[in-house]
């Protein structure tokens, strides 16, 4: 079952995407439940579906993925799984984690992003194929997540303040 925090933040992220659509920055706003992303093995044609909370299809057809951490923000294995899955999807521009906790949670997320991306580079994946450079975190407290409009305002202010 999805918590009030999770559903409110998800609705707020969708509002951000709709605003960016109006500004011609985003082509589509999608949820992983309705439109999962595919991780494909090109040799065998096997496909694994990845269902991020929300993602935007940008004008260049790349994807900006949003993962909302609620109760799972204390579980580094889930954070690592989200990082790996998003890095394996084709044409990902960035991975944004939204969390409500303290600095320790932010450090855990950043540590996972850095460790996984550097490990993949060490194993031969070209760094420019990984969405690490534009990925990051946004802290939205429970108080800020009282309405989707508040969430939208916070995300636009923190992540998209330079977009006209």
Neighbouring CB atoms inside 10 A of 104's CB total: 9
User: In this structure, what token pair is assigned to residue 29?
Assistant: 């706003």
For the segment 19-34, the average pLDDT, to the nearest whole number, is: 95
Domains held by the chain: number: 1
- Does position 143 have pLDDT exceeding 60, yes or no? yes
**What digits encode the pLDDT tens for the residues 66-102?**
999 998 888 889 999 999 999 899 999 999 999 998 8
Residue 164 maps to a domain: no
**What digits encode the pLDDT tens for the residues 114-128?**
999 999 899 998 888
What is the span of the domain harbouring residue 93?
4-159
CATH number of the domain encompassing residue 80 = 3.40.1350
Residue 99 maps to a domain: yes
Q: Report the sign of the C-alpha dihedral through residues 6, 12, 15, 20, in that order.
A: negative
Q: What is the pLDDT, as a whole number, of residue 102?
A: 87
**Helix-strand-coil split of the chain, %, nearest 5:** 50, 25, 30
Residue 21 maps to a domain: yes
User: In this structure, what token pair is assigned to residue 161?
Assistant: 């303040």
**How far apart (Å, rounded) are the C-alpha atoms in residues 145 and 46?**
39
Residue 58 maps to a domain: yes
Where is mean pLDDT largest: 6-15, 110-119, 120-129, 155-164? Answer: 6-15
**How far apart (Å, rounded) are the C-alpha atoms in residues 93 and 108?**
21
DSSP β-ladder status, 46-50 and 37-41:
antiparallel
- 56, β-bridge pairs: 29, 64
């Amino acid at each position: 079952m999805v918590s009030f925090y999770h559903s409110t933040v998800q609705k707020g992220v969708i509002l951000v995407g709709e605003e960016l659509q109006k500004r011609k920055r985003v082509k589509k706003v999608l949820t992983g439940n309705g439109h999962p992303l595919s991780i494909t093995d090109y040799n065998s044609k096997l496909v694994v579906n990845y269902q991020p909370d929300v993602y935007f299809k940008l004008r260049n057809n790349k994807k900006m993925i949003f993962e909302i951490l609620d109760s799972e923000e204390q579980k580094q294995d889930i954070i690592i799984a989200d990082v790996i899955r998003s890095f394996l999807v084709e044409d990902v521009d960035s991975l944004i984690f939204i969390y409500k906790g303290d600095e320790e949670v932010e450090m855990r997320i950043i540590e996972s992003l850095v460790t996984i991306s550097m490990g993949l580079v060490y194993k031969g994946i070209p760094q420019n194929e990984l969405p690490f450079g534009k990925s990051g975190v946004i802290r939205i407290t429970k108080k800020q997540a009282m309405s989707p409009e508040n969430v939208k305002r916070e995300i636009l202010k923190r992540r998209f303040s330079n977009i006209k």
